[in-house]
Chains A and B, each alone.
Chain A
Amino acid sequence: TQLLEQSPQFLSIQEGENLTVYCNSSSVFSSLQWYRQEPGEGPVLLVTVVTGGEVKKLKRLTFQFGDARKDSSLHITAAQPGDTGLYLCAGETGGFKTIFGAGTRLFVKA
């Protein structure tokens, strides 16, 4: 069974702090996606990384795909209350069975 483990599960930080969340697996993925989910809504795609070692930036968010395409990280610089939410990583194995991690629940206090 392919698994994606996310850490930490919960994170509560002050506005302005930096943070990194991790997504790890023993499996190789053809691509990896990061989603953000707000309460009462469905997940919304933030980014897709495809190439091993790839780094993508989205404003204050930096996403990195591991060289071996088994892991990924999301770094947020100077977190803001609007960053609060559940961050999910999802690995593509080919076909239709995308594997989702359980998520990191982030709370940014003003």
Chain B
Amino acid sequence: NAGVTQTPKFQVLKTGQSMTLQCAQDMNHNSMYWYRQDPGMGLRLIYYSASEGTTDKGEVPNGYNVSRLNKREFSLRLESAAPSQTSVYFCASSGQAGDTIYFGEGSWLTVV
């Protein structure tokens, strides 16, 4: 079972470059999320989409944009990458608020 699939797995960017992380889920979930995970800081919510057609800011949205393309897909865009955005990014989904959150395998992003 695929669950939550995110690409790319690894990416190195130069400061100022842009890129989009792609995410898709096949569980017919309403809600999707983007988190970043940094050592000693746990998972922090960047943006979420409660349902198709809506997006909202999480705890650390600055420097990021998102698009809920359809019910399955939720992308995260870095318009002008900065070294502070070096992190592991996780896409996740759930049926609705409070339901079990299912995570993708992560995307390792390094900005030099």
Q: Does B109 contact A (CB under 8 A)?
A: no
A residues near B70, Cβ cutoff 8 Å: none
- On whether the beta carbons of B101 and A98 are closer than 8 Å, the reply is yes
A-B contact count (CB 8 A): 55
Contact with A along B84-100 (1 / 0, CB 8 A): 00000010100001101
Interface size on B, residues (CB 8 A): 26
Q: How far is the CA of A45 from the CA of B50 in the complex (A)?
A: 20
Q: How far is the CA of A51 from the CA of B109 in the complex (A)?
A: 39
- On whether the beta carbons of A96 and B106 are closer than 8 Å, the reply is no
- On whether the beta carbons of A102 and B41 are closer than 8 Å, the reply is yes
Q: How far is the CA of A88 from the CA of B58 in the complex (A)?
A: 19
- On whether the beta carbons of B103 and A97 are closer than 8 Å, the reply is no
- On whether the beta carbons of A98 and B105 are closer than 8 Å, the reply is no
Q: Does A12 contact B (CB under 8 A)?
A: no
CB distance from B19 to the nearest CB of A (A): 20
Q: Does A15 contact B (CB under 8 A)?
A: no
Q: How far is the CA of A41 from the CA of B40 in the complex (A)?
A: 17
Query: Given known contacts A88-B42, A100-B42, A100-B44, is B106 in contact with A45 (CB within 8 Å)?
Result: no
